[in-house]
Structure 1
Amino acid sequence: MEPRLFEDDIIVVKQQPDIESGDVAVVLVNGDEATVKQIKKADNGITLIGYNVAVYPPTFYSNEDIINLPVTIIGKVIELRRPF
């Protein structure tokens, strides 16, 4: 996928603890690293998929990882604003 988020872009996030598989969300990994990724849910965990997979390959987190690291969904990205 081509990058869709660029420097100086602004995203609007609806704060919610859970999202649907396929949604784009802000996710906090390990308590200090926030990232914007597409979420693919599975019974055994979630995969975070970036828009530029050549640079940022998908990362799978098991249900155990989600609890132990932790991996926390901050909210769903609902809007992208780009300066003109």
Structure 2
Amino acid sequence: GDIVVVRKQEDIESGDTAIVLINGGEATVKKVKKTEEGIMLIANNMAVYSPHFYSNKEIEELPVRIIGKVVELRGKL
């Protein structure tokens, strides 16, 4: 029920929250931590969703793509 405002861009800084497309069909909102070996996707609710790491190879093969940077999150009351 939340509304997410996103700036369309293919890359973000490590630590930014982004819309990430995984395997061409599943989009998710996650904080992205970049490393030399790949990226870690971290949910806001870590009690329910554990972080998930994608290697550079998986990023290319699945693929895993950044759709845009989250610039605002509007939660419903």
TM-score normalised by length of structure 2: 0.94
Is the partner of 2:5 in helix, strand or coil? Answer: strand
Q: Where do residues 32-71 of structure 1 align in structure 2 (5 Å cutoff)?
A: 32-71=25-64
How much does 1:29 deviate?
0.5
Work out the CA distance in 2 between the residues paired with 1:58 and 1:46.
10
Structure 1 unaligned blocks of 5 or more: 1-7
CA distance in 2, matches of 1:29, 1:82: 24
> By percentage of residues, which structure has more strand?
2
Q: What value does the CA root-mean-square deviation take over the aligned residues?
A: 1.0
Residue 83 of structure 1, CA deviation: 4.0
Determine which of 7, 17, 23 is the counterpart of 2:16: 23
Matches within 5 A, 1:64-79: 64-79=57-72
Please list every run of 5 or more consecutive structure 2 residues that lacks an aligned counterpart in the other structure. Answer: none
Q: 1 CA distance for matches of 2:72 and 2:47? A: 25
Percent identical among aligned pairs is 62
* TM-score, with length taken from structure 1: 0.87
Q: How many residues align?
A: 77
